[in-house]
Amino acid sequence: MKTALITGSSSGYGLETARFFHANGWNVIATMRTPRTEILPQSDRIRILPLDVTKAESISAAIEASGPIDVLINNAGIGLVGAFEASPMSYVRKMFETNTFGVMAMTQAVIPQFRVRRSGMVVNITSSVALASMPLAAPYTASKLAVEGFTASLAHELKAFGVRVKLVEPGYAPTTRFAENLELRVEDLIPEAYAAFAAPIFADFSKPAMVTKESDVAETVWIAANDTSEQLCFPAGPDALALAKAGRRLAL
């Protein structure tokens, strides 16, 4: 029976992915900054551990408590929507610490056990911003594109040791708790000079033609985690799939 360690499992994609892997017979180590036992089924195949991916000591403790794992799913992330001109650099740095450096730190922490066993999988969850540029999300896009480049390079590096690395790229999911994870109010990040530009963009956001469901992402992560081909990228959700099919992927 395989074991998956999932970061950011308290809500959204991470929570749904933990439920999906458990329902399909895997052992699940669901990690979150503040453990919440009531959100997942009571099962001897589920363990909930505290983890802050921005703190080295927290990563070390979680990896030690987890024991051997087969798949690491890097899902933890925070967002930022607004004009770059008004985005505090302190928050931009904080976002990179979670979205980018947190992914790198978690991956680095599990590589030794994967390399020694000559097996293992890392699945990094990014975003469809890697498939097409989106306005009012420049720092967030940068944090996710950095993970895309990191993952593509690492896939080559670890292939020699039988370790696979994959990307899952979710589309737009207004039903997730992404907006609740924003620590800064969007209205404070839209200066008056940007109001006319931003208005139609937010209008489009409120009435998207296609959306990605949490279940779309969980199912795609499952497919990626069990994939044995050389495929690197797995768009998740109808909008992300449409962008990928249109060949609008940003150059890395």
Q: Are 214 and 173 in contact (CB under 8 A)?
A: yes
Give the Cβ contact number of residue 61 at 10 Å. 15
CA angle 223, 226, 227 (to 5 degrees): 80
Catalytic residue among 13, 140, 172, 194: 140
- Sheet (strand 121-125) strand order: 46-50, 27-32, 3-6, 71-74, 121-125, 164-170, 233-236
Query: How many Å apart are CA 17 and CA 11, to the nearest integer?
Result: 10
- The rounded distance, in Å, linking the Cα atoms of 182 and 97 is 15
Q: Are 73 and 8 in contact (CB under 8 A)?
A: no
Q: Does 140 qualify as catalytic in the annotation?
A: yes
Q: Which residues are catalytic?
A: 140
